[in-house]
């Protein structure tokens, strides 16, 4: 029986859109915080990756082409990682010569990285990279246009020097740039439509506006990548189940497939832990620095806005700067709270993944029977479906354009 699946996930910036579109967003930041806490609890309670139906194995033809084409490389990396994993138990903690636990662990991680390179493939993964390239190209074109507008101010009307840019030449290039920007913006809209279609094939329903926010949010790229990995791992696990049924009485074959399933669990846990480390080690420290800077500038601007040594116009400008920095600090503080909520959800679901990995490891060690493997795989697939740390609420546009600009500016400053 065919199962309907929904992969729903959330980024820190995505829930922020809902909060700012809500009437409570027009009030003080304290009210935003209360609304945020209530909204996040509703989100984590209402959305899940899938239904609780039994999982039926897929046929061989249902394996995506990019996975089928890389099947030997993928299973080879998983098998080699499994063998090294077995050796890990007997290796010393450290050694002057030969392998130890540390060096062997690095080999395992390298193999997992090779497997991950395959598992991030697919239409959604490719279009994610294409969208990033388009956004970077658009940024370059807009910066070039800005430089030319400044050059035009001092450009001569005419010149005998062929390399000298006249106003006519600048205007000609500006017209070309404007068309290039329009073409790339149209390509990005088209790409968003195709990405939405690719995600619908994975069971994830998103409109163009949601895709655009997802791709531009600081954690959106990581979560989209993890969603692609989860979907591909499910396809691989379902394929392992089909293959294992062909030799149900061969314990060595059962051991190998159970081991590959175990390694795939390790890989999924690794991707989630990496995102938590990125939140803790990159995004939150940068937000803290941004908040300190904004609050310091706000205090300085407020002080100068009251000093009589400045003209009335200058005092008003300082006051506006203070308001701008106050908004930056408020939005950044909301961002911290959202990242904390997202981090908690990922950690909660990591507990389920780790328990599933413990079961996989115990089954691998005992190698009971291929029937146990089938039950193990079905249990794991049901767990993958129940994970909701990556749930996504319905997105609404910003009511305040100033808030949108501030959010986008924070995203730019958070990126490496």
Find the mean pLDDT for residues 329-345. 83
Query: Higher model confidence: residue 307 or residue 398?
Result: 307
**Residue 305: Cβ within 10 Å count:** 17
Q: What is the pLDDT of residues 362-407, one digit of tens each?
A: 878 776 444 455 666 666 766 666 654 444 434 344 556 666 667 7
* Integer Cα distance of 236 and 58 in angstroms: 10
Residue 249 DSSP SS3: coil
Query: How far apart are alpha carbons 57 and 246 in whole angstroms?
Result: 13
Token look-up 């094939």 returns: 201
The band of 37, judged by pLDDT with boundaries at 50, 70 and 90, is very low
Give tens-digit pLDDT for 217-250.
677 777 778 878 888 888 898 888 888 777 666 6
Rounded-to-integer distance, Cα 315 and Cα 399, Å: 29
Contact 104, 91 (CB under 8 A): yes
Q: In the predicted model, is pLDDT for residue 299 greater than 80?
A: yes
Closest CA to 377 of 266, 236, 269, 203: 236
Domain ranges of the chain: 12-70+121-414
Which tokens in the block code for residue 191? 């790409």
Residue 4, Ramachandran bin (φ over 0: left; ψ between -120 and 50: alpha; else beta): beta
What sign results for the dihedral spanned by CA atoms 70, 76, 79, 85?
negative
- Distance, CA of 332 to CA of 411 (rounded, Å): 10
Return the pLDDT at 280. 93
CB atoms under 10 Å from CB of 158, counted, come to 8
Q: What are phi and psi of 99, to 5 degrees?
A: -80, 150
How confident is the model at residue 229, as a pLDDT? Answer: 86
The percentage of residues in the chain with a pLDDT greater than 90, rounded to a whole number, is: 19
pLDDT of residue 385: 67
Average pLDDT over residues 247-275: 83
| Helix (H), strand (E) at residue 88 | helix 71-88
Residue 179 has pLDDT above 90, yes or no: yes
pLDDT more than 70, % of the chain: 70
Looking at the predicted structure, is the pLDDT value of residue 27 above 70? no
pLDDT at residue 62 in the model: 67
Exposed e or buried b per residue across 226-239, where buried means at least 16 C-beta atoms within 10 angstroms of its C-beta: bbbbbbbbbbbbbb
Question: What value does the mean pLDDT take over residues 278-306?
Answer: 93
* 225/236 Cα distance (integer angstroms): 17
Q: What is the number of helices (H) and of strands (E) in the chain?
A: 14, 0
Report the distance separating Cα 96 and Cα 281, nearest Å: 32
Residue 63 in this model has a pLDDT that exceeds 50: yes
Note the pLDDT tens digit of each residue in 81-113.
988 988 887 888 887 877 888 888 889 989 988
Whole-number pLDDT of residue 281? 93
> What is the C-alpha separation between 193 and 185, in angstroms, rounded?
13
Residue 76: both structure tokens together: 């080879």
Q: For the chain, what is the mean pLDDT?
A: 75
The secondary structure of 118-180 as a DSSP string is HHT-SHHHHHHHHHHHHHHHHHHHHHHHHHHHHHHHH--S--S-TTS--HHHHHHHHHHHHHH
Q: CA geometry: angle at 280 spanning 276 and 272, to 5°?
A: 5
> How far apart are alpha carbons 192 and 300 in whole angstroms?
43
Neighbours of 375 (CB within 10 A): 14
Q: Does residue 156 register a pLDDT over 60? A: yes
Q: Which residue has the tokens 């190698």?
A: 367
Is the pTM for the entire model greater than 0.75? no
Minimum mean pLDDT range among 12-16, 94-98, 226-230, 331-335: 12-16
């Amino acid at each position: 029986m065919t199962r309907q699946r929904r992969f729903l996930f959330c980024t820190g910036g995505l829930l922020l859109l809902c909060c700012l579109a809500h009437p409570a967003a027009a009030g003080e930041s304290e009210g935003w915080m209360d609304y945020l806490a209530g909204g996040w609890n509703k989100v984590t309670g209402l959305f899940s990756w899938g239904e609780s139906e039994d999982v039926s194995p897929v046929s061989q033809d249902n394996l995506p082409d990019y996975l089928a084409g890389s099947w030997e490389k993928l299973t080879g990396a998983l098998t080699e990682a499994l063998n090294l994993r077995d050796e890990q138990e007997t290796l010393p903690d450290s050694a002057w010569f030969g392998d130890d636990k540390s060096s062997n662990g690095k080999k395992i991680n390298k193999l997992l990285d090779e497997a991950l390179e395959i598992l991030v493939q697919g239409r959604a993964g490719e279009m994610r990279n294409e969208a990033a390239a388009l956004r970077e190209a658009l940024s370059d074109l807009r910066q070039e246009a800005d430089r030319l507008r400044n050059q035009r101010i001092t450009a001569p009307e005419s010149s005998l020097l062929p390399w000298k840019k006249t106003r006519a030449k600048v205007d000609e290039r500006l017209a070309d740039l404007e068309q290039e920007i329009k073409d790339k913006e149209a390509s990005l809209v088209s790409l968003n439509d195709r990405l939405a279609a690719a995600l619908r094939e994975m069971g994830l329903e998103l409109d163009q506006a949601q895709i655009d926010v997802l791709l531009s949010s600081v954690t959106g790229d990581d979560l989209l990548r993890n969603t692609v990995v989860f979907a591909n791992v499910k396809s691989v696990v379902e394929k392992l189940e089909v293959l294992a049924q062909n030799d149900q009485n061969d314990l060595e074959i059962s051991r190998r497939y159970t081991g590959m399933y175990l390694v795939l669990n390790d890989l999924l846990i690794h991707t989630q832990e990496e995102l938590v480390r990125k939140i803790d080690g990159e995004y939150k420290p940068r937000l803290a620095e941004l908040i300190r800077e904004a609050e310091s500038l706000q205090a300085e601007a407020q002080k100068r806005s009251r000093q009589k040594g400045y003209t009335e116009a200058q005092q008003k400008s300082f006051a506006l700067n203070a308001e701008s920095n106050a908004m930056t600090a408020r939005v950044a503080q909301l961002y911290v709270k959202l990242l904390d909520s997202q981090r908690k959800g990922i950690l909660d679901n990591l507990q389920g993944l780790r328990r599933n990995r413990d079961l996989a490891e115990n089954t691998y060690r005992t190698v009971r029977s291929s029937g146990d493997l089938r039950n193990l795989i079905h249990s794991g697939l049901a767990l993958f479906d129940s994970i909701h740390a990556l749930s996504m609420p319905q997105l609404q546009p910003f009511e305040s354009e100033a808030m949108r600009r501030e959010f986008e500016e924070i995203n730019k400053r958070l990126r490496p």
